[in-house]
Amino acid sequence: MTVRIAGVVRESIVDGPGIRFVVFTQGCPHHCPGCHNPESHDPAGGYDCDIEKILTEIKKDPLLKGVTFSGGEPFDQPEPLAELAAEIKKLELDLFIYTGYLFEDLQGRCDPATDRLISLADYIVDGPFLLSQRSLELKFRGSKNQRMIDVAQTLKAGRTVTMEETDSAC
């Protein structure tokens, strides 16, 4: 199975806690003004990459705390990313996902692949980047409207629970 990507960063410390392998997916419908990654918007850009190949690269690095799916828009490719996410979780790495969609709208899709990808994530940072709410003081987010959602707590509580509420180390 392949996923369309813009590229990867093998060791990042700005896309979630700890040292992380980041997969930048290709294709984004949100077109947020001020987007840091505009070359990832065109769904015809980038290249197809076998998820096994990505997994092999992840397994090479013993320093990784986790993996991050960023964009582009990861939730426009939920099937291959859910497959990749399932293998990542077997390695006991945590999974951060950035999305320009609102979490509740993703849940409202009632799409099995989307639901599977949500359930495999530890944290989801949701919502578009809003230039008017940009802040350099936020950790792992670009604008104040974006929420860092604790997925396990959210699914357990049946309401959206943010990392601030659960007093996470992040």
Count the neighbouring beta carbons within 10 Å of the beta carbon of residue 147. Answer: 19
Helices (H), 14-150: 51-59, 78-90, 103-108, 112-120
- φ, ψ of residue 93 to 5 degrees: the values are -100, 150
Residue 82 within binding range of ligand SF4, rule CB under 6 A: no
Quote the DSSP letter at residue 140: S
User: Binding ligand SF4 by CB under 6 A: which of 71, 74, 78, 80?
Assistant: 71
Contact 69, 82 (CB under 8 A): no
Closer to ligand SF4 by CB, 29 or 108: give it: 29
Closer to ligand SF4 by CB, 36 or 53: give it: 36
| Token output for 13 | 């410390």
Residue 129 within binding range of ligand SF4, rule CB under 6 A: yes
Stretch of 65-73, 77-85, 132-140, 159-167 contacting ligand SF4, by CB under 6 A: 65-73
Query: Residue numbers of the site for ligand SF4 (CB under 6 A)?
Result: 28, 30-32, 35, 37, 40, 71-73, 100, 128-129
